Amino acid sequence: MARVVALVPDLMFGSKVHAALSAAGHDVTLTPGQDAAVEAAAGADVLVADLASGTVDGAALMLALPSPGPRTLACYSHVDIEGRDAAQAAGFDLVVPRSRLHREGAELVERLLAG
């Protein structure tokens, strides 16, 4: 079981992420914004960030995380190639389309935990 912090401003999508990861046995904390996510990340194994919301600055988030910090997973809108590229450049460990996080969230977290 991993401690997962999920920065997912969209409540509907956040509830889906929470349900999927909790069902896989992970302890999931949804956070309302970047400051809360950074604070909670100090005790987390994985940080999930929904960059598709338009309210999360992936580069600033990565810079604010503690070091060593949790493994990081970002999702983006499948049509936002610039957003994907920016997330990869910011240093997220794994960057996937939002639809993939919805379908495979638990597997993606397990992949990050495996190294």
Q: Give per-residue pLDDT as tens, 12-66.
A: 999 999 999 999 999 999 998 999 999 999 989 999 999 988 788 999 999 999 8
CATH class (in words) of the domain with range 3-114? alpha beta
Residue 78: pLDDT band (50, 70, 90) is confident
d(CA 25, CA 87): 27
**Does the pLDDT at position 95 exceed 90?**
yes
Q: With a cut of 90, say whether residue 81 has pLDDT above it.
A: no
Average pLDDT taken over every residue of the chain: 92
**Concatenated DSSP letters of 35-72:** HHHHHHHTT-SEEEEEGGGS---HHHHHHHS-SS--EE
Q: Structure pTM?
A: 0.92
